Structure 1
C-alpha cells in the first residue's frame, strides 16, 4: 500500500481549462521509446484529434536487449528535443501553448521515466497549465476507448495487457476500479518471446515482433512435425493447475533443454526454425488464454467485452486464439487497438490523461516517478488533486 501524503513544495496557481476545446501535450518515456503526441480536444462529444505522433526508439540490437542505463540516457537526450520540434512545427508556442500536459509517471524504468516526467513538471510550471501523471498500464487498458470517445468498451470489461514488461488479466469496473485477476510470477510474455526467439536465431530490435513476421512468411510450416517438445506450465500438478498466475520463465528453460536434446543446441534449418517458433508462440499464447478461462470460471464472471493491448497484443495469431476460445464463454465484443497504439506510445497516455482530467483528476507538481504502480492501487499513490 502506498503512503498518502500531500506535498507543499510547489504552490502554483494553475490555469485550469474548462471542459471544452483544449489542447494536450502527452509524453511517454517508461522504457526505451521516447514518445510525444499532440491531441486537440475540440469537444467532449467527439474523440480528440491526433495532431501529431512522434517516437524515437533506442536501437538495442547489438546489446541483445534493453539496457536500463542506455534507455535512460536515450530518453533524457531525446524527449526535450522531440517536444520542442513537435510544438514548434504545429505552432503550439507562446499564447498558443497546450492547455494540459499528460505524462507517464509509472510503472517503468526509473531512469527513463525521470526524463519525461521532470520535463512535464517544468512545462506545467512554465506554462501554468495542469499536469496529469498517468499510469502506463492504464494507458494500454483505456486506449481502445479513444476511437469511441470513451463510450466503448463499457465498464465492466476484461483486459489482457501483454508486453515485454507486463502480462496480466484485469477486470475493470470503472475508470479507477481495476482488479488484477492473473499476473505473472516471474517474467512477462513479451520477455519470454524475445529470449526464446534469440535462442533459435531470430534477431532484431523487437525479437518477438521479428518472430511473428518470420512465422507469417513461413506459414506453410505451422503445425508440422518437428522433434521438439515444450509444454504449457502449471498444468500437470493438481494444486498449481488452478492457480490464477502466469509463469513464462519456464518456457526458456524448456526450450534450451529441448534444443540440447534433439538438435545439439542448434536449430538445423529454416523449416525447423519456423516449426519450433510456431510451437513456442502458440504455447505461450495458450498459457495466457488458459488462465483467462480459469479466471472466468473461478470468478463466475459475466462480461461481454474484452480488450487485448500492449506490444504483444498486436500479434494476429494471439487475437484469433482469443476470439476462438473466449467467444464460447460469453465474450461478444473484442477490442484490439491498431498496432501503433499497442506498443508504447504517447497517444494512449494522452487519452488516459483526458479521461482522468475530465473526471476531475490532476497531479500535484511535487510528485515523482515510481517503478512499480499496480493498477489496483492507482488512487493510493500520493499526489492526486481532485476537483
Structure 2
C-alpha cells in the first residue's frame, strides 16, 4: 500500500510517500519520499508557536513539498494532456485557505495522477487553524485524484513511529506508551492495535511546554527544551554544586496524572527569592544548576509514574515517544528503568521521527486501515479537532 501522508498539526509542514506492507504481525515501512519544513525560526520572536502564522506557512509550503516528494519517489510524471479535474469543487474545498488554490492547481495541471493508494492527514490533536490547512489540502487531492482520504490521530502517529526504522523487534501486547511533547503528556495503555486507553495525563502544562517556559525564565531562546538539556548536561559534567531544590509534583498522588505548571512556578519563585527576580544576577553556573534540578525533577516524575504501571500490570512493551524523547536524560532514564523489568521491550523512535513528521502519520494510517478496513471505501467526513483523544 502506498500512502501519501500530510502533517500540519503545529509548526512543521510535512509530506511523505510511504510504502507499507507486512500486516499487523510484521508491519514494514519504506519511505519513498519525504519532505519537511520547520517553522521554528519564524516563531522564535513569539517565544512559541503563533497559530495564524503557522496556518499561513502551511498553505505556502504544502504544494512545493508535495512536488518535491513526488519527484523523490519517482512519481512525478509530466502530463501530456490536461487531466480532467473538477476545479470548481476543489476551489470550494480550498476557499478557506488563502494562497493554497493557485499553487495547487499549477502543480496538478502539469503532472499525471501518481501511483498512490490512499491519502492520510492529521485531523488532531493540534492547532485547529493549522490542522485545517492540511485537511483541506488532502481533501482537494482526494477529489482531484479520486482517492480515499483517511484522518489520522497525531498521538497514534507518535505511538506507531517506533515501527519505522532499523529496530524490527516486535511489539508484544499489552503495551504501554508514554507520549511526551510540547502539547501532551499522556500514559496510554494499549491492549492491541487500535485499542487505546489513556490512564494518566497532565492536568495543566505538558512536560515539553514546561521545558520551554523554564527556558524563557532563564533567558534562553525558543525552543527551550534542547537549551535546558545542554545546561543540565553541563552541570552534570562539571559536577556543579546542587543548590537549587524543586518539588516532584504529584509524585505521591494516588493516580497516574502529572502536573508541570507548579514545577515551572517553583523555578520562578526560586529565581525571585535567590536572585531578586533579575536574570542579570544569575551566572551561567546558576542557570546550569537550575536547569539540572528542573530536568531531574521532570524525569523523576515521568519515570516514577511509568514504573508504577509496570509494577502493577503485566506490560510486554514500553513505548516512549514524542518530541521530548529526544532528551538524552529522559532516554537514559527509561533505558535504565527497563533493565529492571526482565523481558520488557523498550521502543523509542529514531531522533528524526521523535518530533512531528508525516512518516508517522503514514504508519498510523496503515495500522488503522488494517484494523478498520472499511475506512478505505468509506467517504470519511474529516474535521479538525484540536482536542482529539486516543480511544
Bucket of the pairwise TM-score, normalised by the shorter protein: 0.7 to 0.9
Residues 35 and 65 in structure 2, CA contact (< 8 A), matched pair in contact too: yes
Cα distance, 1:365 vs structure 2: 4.0
Match of 1:212 in 2: 229
1:271-301 deviation digits (Å, cap 9, x = unpaired):
221121111111011111222223344xx20
Match of 2:90 in 1: none
Q: Tell me which of 220, 225, 234 is aligned to 2:241.
A: 225
Match of 2:34 in 1: 53
Match of 1:342 in 2: 354
Question: Does the alignment pair 1:271 with 2:276?
Answer: no
Question: Does the alignment pair 1:24 with 2:3?
Answer: yes
Q: What are the equivalent positions in structure 2 for 1:188-337 lying under 5 Å apart? A: 188-204=206-222, 206-217=223-234, 219-222=236-239, 224-235=240-251, 241-265=253-277, 266=279, 268-297=282-311, 300-330=312-342, 332-337=344-349
Query: How many residues get paired?
Result: 347
Partner SS for 2:116: coil
Residues 204 and 261 in structure 2, CA contact (< 8 A), matched pair in contact too: yes
- What root-mean-square deviation, in Å, do the aligned CA atoms of Structure 1 and Structure 2 show? 2.2
C-alpha separation between the residues in 2 aligned to 1:203 and 1:117? 31
1:296-339 deviation digits (Å, cap 9, x = unpaired):
44xx2011311110000121210111222343245621111111
Match of 2:17 in 1: 38
C-alpha separation between the residues in 2 aligned to 1:225 and 1:105? 47
C-alpha separation between the residues in 2 aligned to 1:180 and 1:46? 24
Partner SS for 2:214: helix
Higher alpha-carbon deviation: 130-139 or 144-153: 144-153
Residues 122 and 278 of structure 1: CA distance in aligned 2, closer, same or farther (over 3 Å): same
Residues 109 and 189 of structure 1: CA distance in aligned 2, closer, same or farther (over 3 Å): same
C-alpha separation between the residues in 2 aligned to 1:252 and 1:104? 30
Match of 2:54 in 1: 71
Question: Does the alignment pair 1:108 with 2:126?
Answer: yes
Question: Does the alignment pair 1:375 with 2:390?
Answer: yes
Runs of 4+ that moved beyond 3 A: 41-46, 88-91, 147-151, 213-219
Partner SS for 1:245: coil
Question: Does the alignment pair 1:124 with 2:142?
Answer: yes
1:105-140 deviation digits (Å, cap 9, x = unpaired):
111111000111111111112111222210000000
Residues 184 and 116 of structure 1: CA distance in aligned 2, closer, same or farther (over 3 Å): same
Q: Structure 1 regions of 5+ residues with no counterpart? A: 1-21, 377-387
C-alpha separation between the residues in 2 aligned to 1:243 and 1:39? 39
Partner SS for 1:172: strand
Residues 150 and 113 of structure 1: CA distance in aligned 2, closer, same or farther (over 3 Å): farther
Give TM-score, length-normalised by structure 1: 0.83
Residues 281 and 122 of structure 1: CA distance in aligned 2, closer, same or farther (over 3 Å): same
Give TM-score, length-normalised by structure 2: 0.83
1:192-211 deviation digits (Å, cap 9, x = unpaired):
0110011112213x210232
C-alpha separation between the residues in 2 aligned to 1:104 and 1:233? 32
Residues 234 and 288 in structure 2, CA contact (< 8 A), matched pair in contact too: no
Cα distance, 1:100 vs structure 2: 1.4
Residues 135 and 382 in structure 2, CA contact (< 8 A), matched pair in contact too: no
C-alpha separation between the residues in 2 aligned to 1:42 and 1:365? 23
1:50-83 deviation digits (Å, cap 9, x = unpaired):
1222111112111111111211222122222211
Partner SS for 2:349: coil
Q: Structure 2 regions of 5+ residues with no counterpart? A: 77-111
Residues 46 and 149 in structure 1, CA contact (< 8 A), matched pair in contact too: no
